[in-house]
Structure 1
Amino acid sequence: MSTVNIAIVGATGAVGTTILEKLLERDFPSSSIKLLASARSAGNVIEVDGKQFTVEETVPESFEDVDIAFFSAGGAISKMFAEEAVKRGAVVIDNTSAFRMTETIPLVVPEVNADALNEHNGIIANPNCSTIQMVTALEPIRDSFGLGRIIVSTYQAVSGAGAEAIDELETQSNQFLNRHEIEAKLLPTGAGEKFYPISFNAIPQIDAFDSSGYTLEELKMINETKKIFNMNDLHVSATCVRIPVVSGHSESVYFEVDKEGVTVDEIRSSLVNAPGIVVQDDTNKQEYPMPLFSEGKDDVFVGRLRKDPDHPKGFHMWVVTDNLIKGAALNSVQIAEALLATEKK
């Protein structure tokens, strides 16, 4: 197909709107773009780059004549409508957790495992935002030197919890600075019994806890990384923390390579020319990635590269990206681009 008909489910949300922006920005070969959301949003008009799009209610018939459907409206909506879209001939690129760990559904980061697209049966899963940036940064290293262990600590922006969390951060910051009582209603998770302020704070919980003591966000990183790399025996552990940053997830990543005698310079060289990665790693000039400066950018930024002082194959790095762009919307669009490239072969 030279041009395709597109649908975006959850088009009024932050990720859905960014998917639309990226499709237009990257001149994706679309014949039409249909915006879908809930009944209460139907009729709303979204304008991007001077083009106006009217939102429609999501119903099964919405997917007639649609070639690619981007889903970003929550797992329940994906489970309700994804199969309906596939039945009508669409390929679904799903940005929720609904299908990520389904064995028969590929979980794709194009810089890492685009070949997995050959195995799709109508649904392709987009990984968790924090997983995407980590595996993108690790893939050139894994390809060159092998990979045996990953220990990651994340510092995740409130935008990952939605627009309401951004509003709460702003409100709580004003309350704190004016010495008013701080009201917490959203974080760490809406399903929890307690809520904590995020302003001037760090909350070591993202999503609910599993019986293992890990949160669901941490388990996503662990299990998704193994699936994307196709390495079930890979040792992965994660600690995920919410911090008072609007956009841009940061990660401290410890990793061990398989190859003996690898140097920091060799690790850096493997990253410099890797697709989607920008190396910012000059401590003499205090150059390193920061979330404030990643906002609105497509790339995954890597810095603070250094060797572990005690393990001969261990290294550390600092990884930052805009969680709404590469961590969600852009990766979805790149999957669609890779899908079209695969079909042309």
Structure 2
Amino acid sequence: MTETLLRVDDLRVSFDTYAGEVRAVRGVSFHIDKGETLAIVGESGSGKSVTAQATMRLSADKQIRYKSGSIRFNEKEILKLQEKELQRIRGSEIGMILQDPLTSLNPMMTVGKQIAEGIIKHQHLPKREAITKAIEMLRLVGIPEPERRVNQYPHEFSGGMRQRVSIAIALACNPKLLIADEPTTALDVTIQAQILELMKDLQEKLNTAILLITHDLGIVAEMADRVMIMYAGSIVESGNCEDLFYHPAHPYTWGLLGSIPQADQKNKEALISIKGTPPDLHAEITGCPFKHRCSYAMAVCHEHRPPAFEIGEGHTAGCFLHHEFSPSVINPITKEEVK
């Protein structure tokens, strides 16, 4: 029986800006079991990173409002914890890899000190022992000559090596959950493949759950057990990898998959593009958030928000095309009739 590590229910997050309230996350619910990888996919501005950062309450409380919902990590309600309690969890029980290692690492500190910092704080080891463990972490993430490189600065490392250092920092205290926010965005494809392979190997060794934030469906296919598709701060479809790639059920997912060129594609069909732009998150959204960009939108889509229709076991999609009285359409990805 799988054990749930993180459970988020009806999370709503807003930012107060000079232009008004930005409703960045709108009623998101999901869970992550121990040792599994959940990917959150969506275009820029869909609420992926805000959702991930909310699990650690990384944004300053003056800038952000948690309007409703619950975030339970390891049976602790994150939204009710004091800052000192949160600091004990950050780095020790939840680690985070940011997408740009050049800006996430401190250029004024050696990489050894940056890895040792969390070890000293959370595991209360003496400085010398913490540096020894930092060397072990550098070796674990595949950095050669760790005894020498532990005393070097971030600018002395390549982009791929800096990302390995970021992973070492995130995993130094053996966290139960690793949040990877587009961890390979700034890397070339060869280094990207190495980093993904490293993350999978470390997950198997440490049994760490991973919350993976990305817009790259190739990474999702490589890494994820389950997938959530986000659009305009909401989850529009969720399921396991096989569901999302072979039986996609939401027009937005169809657009994402249709925009990927196929290596074995013999005909010269044009790639599907999603016309228009996402809705303004300053405003309330009536009906389906995707309605203005959807070729299948009906009158009901403009008036009512679609519920999460169950497509299969663990596979849901928020689209009225799956209502029993909706007209029949052909799924452009599977070429099958939507029922």
Instruction: Tell me the TM-score normalized by structure 1.
Output: 0.25
With the length of structure 2 as denominator, give the TM-score of the two structures: 0.26
Of structures 1 and 2, the larger Rg is shown by 2
